Structure 1
Amino acid sequence: MSKVVSNKTILPAGGGAFDLPNLSVGIFLNDQPSHRFAHGSKLSVHKPLSRNQGWILPAGSDGICEYDDELEFVMVNIDDGIAAEFGLGKAFEFDPIIGDIDPLLLNLSLTASTALGAGTLYRETMQRALAAQIVETIKPAPEWHAGIEDARLRKVLDYIHDNLAEDLSLSGMADIAAMSATHFAKAFKKEVGSSPLQYVIAARLELASVLLKTSELTVAEVAWRVGYQDLSRFGQHFKRKYGATPAAFRAG
């Protein structure tokens, strides 16, 4: 028999089948080295979980959760309407996340679990914050992360693509990676296959090609949007990569 102490639920050793109609996040509050888990019709697998690890499961999930020790956990079920606001309605499917939980998502889940008995406004505000972070957690990794194992370099790549219009510098990127400029330049080229400068130029020109085909921005505005202050230099780089001037590329 389960019991609720404050905002947490305590279950006796054993576990069994579960059926969760809503998008849900659960956080284990004690270690469960013998935890076993199955989602849907898949076979149960041994999945040890420690305190502050847990799950994110899509709406309509069912399966098996078993453990050999008394379990303490908190769970937040996201209201269907709030989930739908963030594109996480019942028709949205994603692979369950079992194990480590994003630190911000962990804190939001623990806080949201205390709001279950609070007023509607506070509870819904916390659920919206949680749903927004779930979207960030489950969205596919950007294509530029492919093959890059070093999290520091992935962070730099995200920074580059988020700031292509800015005056990017080697020292600034190295600071984000928490490396010396020399170490960063060598690590970047080894992992990515090009120097930081070459990568930035390629990323800017790729974005420019998309903007030229999909927007009504002038060539000068496109150049500015991708970080070129010198229109002539932009044209030279673009023609070198695409074999045509920006205007001809757009017309073709």
Structure 2
Amino acid sequence: MARIPKLTTTLAYDRYMAGQRLVSSVDREWRHLVLRSYLEPVRQDLLEAPGLRDFTLMTLASGAEHLERNLGGAWESADMRVNDLWFVPPTPISWRWHSISDEPLSTLHVHIERDLIDSVAQQMGLDASRELSLGDAMRFNDPLIAAMLAALHRAARDPADSRLYVDTLAHALAAHLLQHYSSGNDARRGGATRPERLVPRRIRRVTEYIRTNLAEDLAIAELAEQAGLSSFHFARVFRRETGETPHQFVTRLRLEEAARLLRATDRTVLQIALEVGFENASHFSVQFKRGYGATPLAYRLRA
């Protein structure tokens, strides 16, 4: 058997998995994170895997299992069920498990780039020495993290979910982890809060930027820069001021412009999709039907 390295990359980690891959975000061009899910064998007597450079969380998407791990020479175990969470440490680890449910056993793996965590920490004004630390607990529960992982899982399976939506989730997940699971609680927080009276003007600048650049691949960091805010604060401030998340606002504007072009021009659905910022005609059609209750062609015929 080949020797297991001490550390590996997120992309290479897939080769050490025992299950059948069900979903992967690798080809979705997501920023900052990778998501995969696997249909696991009902019993695995031993799986040896290297540590990971990226911060990695796992949960059960379906089924239940008795999971054992060997970290540092001693075996420990816990019964895992849907929404239970566990952390994959940056060190080699051995696993074994068996199903304790009649449901198919499937796992969800979310790998978050360390650079994103460092960037969000800086935006939150946290001291550079602050580190994420989930301790040695075999299992932990956090309903908000479980909900965000489930939302990312749905996004990976849905071609209509945009990179901006995933980008927002990734930043929110990193911020939550830093807020609640980082060491150095006495870390320094830098920078005074920006004057609230300037916020509406900043958000107006962003909305005009979005309208001018609908066809572009807009990112949270790019929009936050227009507002002169950190990505961490921008998403919250934007929703407070507009009543919509950045993803919802951008999608609504893209669909409104697409509807206008369908009524006023004879451009093809693909041409319109690309002009207003969708990746392809299929993605555009799914989103358009969600928003207008009809496919683009059906809408054009009725207009």
Under TM normalisation by the shorter chain, which class is it? Answer: 0.3 to 0.5
* Larger Rg, first or second structure (1 or 2): 1
| TM-score under structure 2 length normalisation | 0.34
